Amino acid sequence: MRPLLLLIIVLLTACSAPMPRESGSVNISTYRAQSDNVELISYARSLLGVPYHYGGNNPDQGFDCSGYVSHVYNHVAGIKLPHNSAQISRYGRFVYRTDLRDGDLVFFNTSRQKYSHVGIYIGNDIFIHAPSSGGSIRIDELSNPYWQRNYNGGRRIIE
């Protein structure tokens, strides 16, 4: 019974990213996409404001972090990614933070577990993601102390 309870707790905390203590939101009106991957970024941004929903993987239902990333990649590029951020972290190739390009995935430890949260890098040190219960798809800065402290790395899925 105890392993089952532990599994349920881990699943419920997956993709749950608390609000950073410092304000990390970006004024999206100042953001201009300068991207090799314009369509991916454009579609990802079109979903801003869609509510967070644990286990969600479509705009009508809402998204959790991995459901959001999986949906965007499948919708735009036909790439099917798992609905689990740790599993997604095994796809593509590792990219150093200084080498991130638009459309790369960025991973964070938000629940005392590596790769427990994922977002899409959209350039200029910012990323878009489904943060947590009560939230919605939003843009944040990688340089925000919360995200910097919990950053696990980047992956490039599309070359």
Scanning 1-158, the segments in alpha helix (DSSP H) are 2-13, 38-46, 65-77, 85-88, 145-150
Element (H, E) at 115: none
- 15 labelled catalytic: no
Q: Which of 53, 71, 83, 117 is catalytic?
A: 117
The CA distance from 20 to 51, in Å, is: 18
DSSP string covering 56-89: -EETTTEE-HHHHHHHHHHHHH-----S-HHHHT
Catalytic residue among 65, 71, 75, 83: 65
Q: Does the annotation mark 53 as catalytic?
A: no
Residue with the two structure tokens 């080498």: 99
- Give the residue numbers annotated as catalytic, written as ranges: 65, 117, 129
